[in-house]
Structure 1
């Protein structure tokens, strides 16, 4: 007999109730997966908070019923299913709250995580209020490797526009081969609608903003910035003149939200 079966044999046939509660403030994410996994464990869901539920220390986000062995397994599995997404949603919400209406916060880092959790973290980012796409309009994203393979920003943008001239062309620039401000201007003149300054250096963003203002093309383009942005550095990005900030690790690598599963009672 397996250890747990032996330990909980006296409780065979008894139904226990339990609750999952938050131990810190945050945003709940992972509601659908939580209910699905609870069902797979043979647990009855008696109440579950909706996606995006605001949590305070002590807030209940889930209640269920089941046998002792199933509840012990639930403690090992359910907390992890919602802890990470809730941590990501909480981090995203913090950036969105800090930014207000001054800058659009997005997080595209969900594309870089393992496929098994990609959908859950993408949902968590959206639950926190951050964008999962750099623009809501149909677009073509030309990252650094596209630009390199196609011979530079001008031929890359030309090729993308030839495919669909109605889509917004987004170009990731890093100042390779020429000053970054010149690279940005070339991309805009070729037809790019969003320039992603993906160097992590505010000086590069400032140079592009200055060139855009002096060159008369600032109103024709949205300027995005990415690279190691933290809550402490967000104000500097806003002050430098970006329209969009793509936050990566500070959101996607957020710690698990601290949660607890506790047995509440036994039904004989």
Structure 2
């Protein structure tokens, strides 16, 4: 007989009501997997929060009941599937709030996490209000490695345009092949529509935007900015003229939102 089976043997015919509550302010995410586990455990559900539910300290996200063994398993399994997604959703929402509607916030860092949790974190990012794609229009994205393999921004962009002239081409610029200002000119001259200034240096962004203004094609391109962006950087990024900001680790590495499970009473 296993330890838990032995411990709970005197309680096997009893059921216990329990509640799961948030311990801090935030946004509830992970609801889909949360509900799946409730079903797997055959927990009686009295009420469960929906995805995106607003949280304050001591806000319940679940009320229900089950046997002693099921309650113990629920504590082991349920808190883990909502803590991280809720933390990510909360962080994304904070960035959206900080943007003030002046800039599009995206988080592409979900691609760098383990495949088994990607769907949960993609949902969390969306729940927080951030995007996952640099644009919703059909596009081709050329990252730094494409640029390196083609030995330059221009050849990479031209090849992408040749594949489908109707798609937007977005290219990551890091100033590796030549100064940022020259990469910007070459990218636009070759047909790029979205320029990702991914140096983390807002001076590079400002230079790129000024070049576009001076040459009369500012309204033909969008500027994205990335590279370790945090909330305190937002005013400077917006002032420098970015249309899109890609926030990576500050969202995807957000700490767990704290939840707790408490048994409230034994049911008769």
TM-score bracket relative to the smaller structure: over 0.9
Gaps of 5+ in 1: none
What is the TM-score normalised by the length of structure 2? 0.97
Q: TM-score, normalised by structure 1?
A: 0.97
Correspondence 1:133 to 2:133: yes
> What is the alpha-carbon distance in structure 1 between the residues aligned to residue 64 and residue 240 of structure 2?
50
The answer to whether 1:34 aligns with 2:31 is no
Quote the residue 2:204 is aligned against.
204
Q: Map Cα deviations across residues 5-40 of structure 1 (whole Å, 9 max, x no partner).
A: 222222111111211111111000010100101221
Deviation at 1:141, TM superposition (A): 0.4
The Cα of 1:130 is off from its aligned counterpart by 0.2
Residues 27, 55 of structure 1: 8 Å contact kept? yes
Q: Secondary structure at the match of 2:72?
A: helix
Matches within 5 A, 1:110-259: 110-259=110-259
CA RMSD across the alignment: 1.1
Partner Cα separation in structure 1 for residue 63 and residue 161 of structure 2: 53
> Per-residue deviation at 1:177?
2.0
Residue number in structure 2 paired with 1:81: 81
Q: Which runs of 4+ in 1 moved over 4 A?
A: none
Deviates more, 1:14-23 or 1:28-37: 14-23
- How big is the shift at 1:234? 1.3
What CA deviation, in whole Å up to 9, does each residue of 1:69-115 have, x standing for no partner? 11111111111100000000000000001102111000000011000
The 3-state SS of whatever aligns with 2:260 is: strand
Q: Could you list the runs of 5+ residues in structure 2 that have no partner in the other structure?
A: none
Are the equivalent residues in 2 in contact too, given 1:106–1:133 (CA < 8 A)? yes
Would you say the 8 A contact 1:104–1:244 is kept in 2? yes
CA distance in 2, matches of 1:7, 1:201: 59
Match of 1:104 in 2: 104
Equivalence for 1:66: 66
